[in-house]
Structure 1
Amino acid sequence: MPLALYLLAMAVFAMGTLEFMLAGLVPDLASDLDVTVGAAGTLTSAFAIGMIVGAPLMAALARNRPGRSSLLGFVLVFSAAHAIGAAASSFPVLFATRVVAAVANAGFLAVALATAATLVPPGAKGRALAVLLSGTTLATVAGVPGGSVLGTVLGWRATFWAVAVLCLPAAVGILRGIPARPVREGETGGPALRSELAQLGRPRLILVMLLGALVNAATFGSFTFLAPVVTGTAGLGELWISVVLVLFGAGSFAGVTLAGRLSDQRPGLVIAVGGPLLLAGWLALAVLAEEPAALLVLVFGQGALSFAVGGTLITRVLYEAAGAPTMAGSYATAALNVGAAVGPLIAASTLGTVAGDLGPLWASGLLVAVALVAAFPLRGVIADGRRDQVLR
């Protein structure tokens, strides 16, 4: 894989740290800003909504601009938004900075995904996506737990400041490692924007986007509210939140690495085997979460399965949107973040029910079940590895 891919992954790591770390900061943030835990959890949805809107918009605006300058601009805006968020004294201001940061992150990912696809052979998009997503998974392994510990010791604002600073080395990496590739007048390197947007009318593309969104909704729904499960249901101390997040991140790294090797050649195998196991895992976690040992093992497994299945589906988005080379990354980003927006909202709605802190886990199981039902009519296609099929 080209060095430029790993430099992009470094920037994804910096951004992913802030996107995921709220899972460990929700209780502290809610208390400091005098809002409910459910309301604080909507910051994850706010970020995702900004990503959904920002991905196609920013990709369209940046499609004929040099990739390096666009990527650099997005990183710097992201950093500035979190510096402002760290100093915010009210929840609405913090909410607004999350949306701005999300738009910047969406633009970055959309351009980065499109750039990554051009840096590798046509049949290696899954491996390229795996490298980029490794930045996200490493954020859950190191950045998110580190942010959780920092937030526990110094408060959630210190974590926001740390992420703002962390973006600066990523910006330097983009400047030094990504080719400028200036765009010459009349040379866009691809089809017209209208033609690329028309790809969204293809049923096969919509299908894989829907499946990817459902799986990601399950992932974010439970991940956002893991902290109350750890300290409430399992009865562990606050520092155990970081341990659980590390295990989830380690599992996600293993899952996305596996998916990167299989999603180009054997996506049907990943989905057919991983999908039912993912459903069973969420249900088992909901039943056994009060047992610390079971919680730790299952969290690792769910991290692996969530990113293996979800990463494979998002890779299929890139393949199905091959006719939209500059916009395909935004479609993949939007699919990921529709799930990231809807998941925490659904999960938050269960907290006030009889399920309590375990509600998000049951909700995640339901979301995966819906995805499997939606994919069931295509079971023959999933089992078929031919290149012209939906999930191949």
Structure 2
Amino acid sequence: MNFEQLGLAPALLRAVGDMGLFAPTPIQAEAIPAVLRSADVWATAPTGSGKTLAFALPLVQQHVLQPRQTNFRRPIRTLVLVPTRELAVQVGDILSNLAYKPGLKVSVVYGGVSINPQMMGLRGGADIVVATPGRLLDLVDHNAVHLGNVQHLVLDEADRLLDLGFADELQRVLALLPPKRQTLLFSATFAPEVEALAANLLRDPVRITVEAFEGHKPDITQRAIAVDEKSRTALLRHLIADNSWKQVLVFVATRYACEHVANKLYKAGIYATPFHGEMSQGARQDVLHDFKAGRWDVVVTTDLASRGIDIAMLPVVVNYDLPRSATDYTHRIGRTGRAGAHGDAVSFVTAEALAHWKLICKRESLELALEQIAGFDPTDEPPAPQGNGGIKGKRPSKKDKLRAAAAQERP
């Protein structure tokens, strides 16, 4: 199959050709016709499978085929909600490239930067807005955006937007939208607890599930290495030197660990830098730009970078701390092995995290031998099991705290 068979307009066919794309991915082949029919879509597909173009191409075509009725102000007809600033920029870039020749205006808005330039950019309206929920509501409060004309709503990384961390903001946004609209949900994963919420947003949706199958599976070699907690940084340095890694994304559990691990690596002569949510948006953009350009060898990050960050040909991901859930594991390792490139994903497994690792393996159907590296043989003993265990770590997450608060408020 090629893009011409999907019913795309000639201008969009030229645009995908300019990108070097000639055949749609499975998610694009299924989603594009459904979106063009104005159906609601609930799509699940692996990371790196081309989900953004799967909704961006048909939505831009809908705008072209149905020109706005006024030249005075552009009513917002398409709203794309995303959970992070980085994903907003990435999706906005793709939509802007597609919308340039048709003359559509795309505005990208997110927090962490001054609101005033975004308000100025929205004067006269916009055809398509890509936004994080919190900043969008700020702009609504400033009377800078009006959502009464939205015809198409996209939730990208929908499972994140539907969880309790975003639930209140999302409900406020939904209350401002027309009830009659097209709604599109796209994500690599949908946890059972958000399935009901997703179903309530959609009307007779086209349900699309694209599994990673042989020949289209990301080419990722996964490894698990047993190591004592105190030896992880030394092991990381050893692996970087021994394998001549030049571009490594290292996931840790906390913002403090980002700074701490990056600083220790830098002092050891490795060009490493932190990347986390307490940094300014400008600093975060600089880190990503320099990392993609090869100016940093290692970026140490929290799960902030586990979704929506597309770094072409990223060769290595390291789980210095294990993710809190199997879903997060999927998103983390999905940063490598993209667009047909080979990638390596390495997880450090301490004695304390061994039970947690086994649960991740069970839920991900992984059968990985736990390796030991000479000179870094673990000596710590696993702690005695307590309770029924669980997939999450010991520290309560933001979702855990919100659930606990909600439970206390119930009569």
TM-score computed with the length of structure 1 as normaliser: 0.24
| Greater RCO (CA < 8 Å, at least 6 residues apart) | 1
Which structure has more strand as a fraction of its residues? 2
Which structure has more helix as a fraction of its residues? 1
TM-score computed with the length of structure 2 as normaliser: 0.23
